[in-house]
Amino acid sequence: MTSASKAGVAPTINVVTHNASGAKKKKNRNVLSMGASDSEHYKLALMNPFSEKALGARVPDQFFAPTATVALREIVSLSNDTSGNIECILMPNVYCPAASFRGSIANGTTLQTPNGTNFTKGAILNSGVALRNKIMNYRIVGWGLRIRNTTAVTGAQGVLTVALVPPHQRMRVPHNAGIGGQTAGGAGAGNFRAEEWLISMGIPNTGAGDNARVDLSALLDLPFHARYQGTQLAENTFEVHPKLTSPLGLEFRSSEDAYWGSDMQATTSAVYVQPGDASYLMLDGWTSVVVGFSGGSTTAGSQTFDLELIYHLEGTPNVNSGQIFVADAPISHHNPVAAMAAQAALNAMPTFTRVAGAAMAAYRSFGGH
């Protein structure tokens, strides 16, 4: 029989054996995919996601199907505008992890809202190919970010505010997804602007329509926030651990979504992407994080920050011609050389069980800690 689950404790199976004298002995075994994780491992992914010990974590649950694990890292570089302000919204989404309507993402690309408005340096967007080659259905086990001030100490000024934003259900990223030629067009799309998205997300905003921005002064009104002065920023690195808010965060998303049973990646016709059709765009189950900076220099680009993101994922391993494509390693979507080398090492492994160990070795050889 299966014992009842408790908060923070992995579900267990009661295993009864007999010794030579016939006396019963009872053992508890964790019900975990491939036996590669436990509740403490999972807690680290939630509470200390940058720890090496968090790598390979899975959600301890009652489901027996084996899962593979992948960790992804991303660097988001921020810089101020001529008003001395920065805004960035970090999201529980590996395809669009960051967005900014102020254009604060120095290493970002163009964010396009569904009504067709473009915001230069408004988003970090990742191709889904690297993830799809490893896992199919996936979920975020834990994620986090580190904030580093990269401005010279002598230029330390301003105030940084970080706030957690509980999600509204079935919200998706603000970018007009173009995966496989899909667009979020259709009735009402012309009214889906920056303002509507910020309001729907529950993020304080100022301005109207396409001119809406995060209201940096109102971030203090959010229930979970922290504020740091410029002198603190010059001397410290800050970690933020987003919170799991509902069972929706434990649902598996598709890394290669389908629309009416067809392969979405191979579809080139423009159709209206409904949230239910595009689970890779969803933000359910986790708090998002808003980073706001104000009171900085009015010289654009003179105040800079680096945000380091990490996502711990588990999912169904992708199998192609008998090969299991999976790597338990923080290999970025933007690191194809490391990804290919790690993949080559994994392809040579004969069994799924040995793949995880090889992946960790590959991770360390490519700059892991």
What residue segments make up the domains of the chain, in order of their start?
A: 67-318
Q: And the tokens for 217?
A: 């002064």
pLDDT at residue 116, rounded to an integer = 83
Coil vs helix vs strand at 214: strand
3-state helix, strand, coil split of the chain in percent (to 5) is 25, 35, 45
Q: How far is CA 226 from the centre of its chain?
A: 21
Coil vs helix vs strand at 333: coil
Spans of the chain below 50 pLDDT:
1-18, 25-37, 179-182, 184-187, 259-276, 327-339, 342, 345-346, 348-369
Q: How far is CA 46 from the centre of its chain?
A: 12
C-alpha–C-alpha distance, residues 1 and 31, integer Å: 12
**What pTM does this model have?**
0.75
C-alpha–C-alpha distance, residues 250 and 288, integer Å: 15
Exposed, middle or buried by CB within 10 Å (0-12, 13-18, 19+), for 10?
A: buried
pLDDT at residue 277, rounded to an integer = 53
pLDDT at residue 316, rounded to an integer = 83
pLDDT at residue 49, rounded to an integer = 93
H helix intervals, 174-310: 194-201, 230-233
pLDDT at residue 140, rounded to an integer = 94
8 Å CB contact between 172 and 237: no
8 Å CB contact between 351 and 94: no
C-alpha–C-alpha distance, residues 286 and 164, integer Å: 10
- The enclosing H or E element of 291 equals strand 288-294
pLDDT at residue 274, rounded to an integer = 46
8 Å CB contact between 74 and 97: yes
Q: Please name the residues in contact with 231: beta carbons below 8 A apart, sequence gap of 6 or more.
A: 156
C-alpha–C-alpha distance, residues 174 and 190, integer Å: 13
In degrees and rounded to multiples of 5, residue 194 shows phi and psi of -55, -40
CATH 3.40.50 corresponds to the domain 67-318:
no
H helix intervals, 105-180: 129-132
C-alpha–C-alpha distance, residues 73 and 52, integer Å: 13
Count the residues in the chain.
Answer: 369
Q: And the tokens for 145?
A: 């970010």
8 Å CB contact between 170 and 284: yes
Residue (of 22, 10, 51) closest to 312 by Cα position: 51
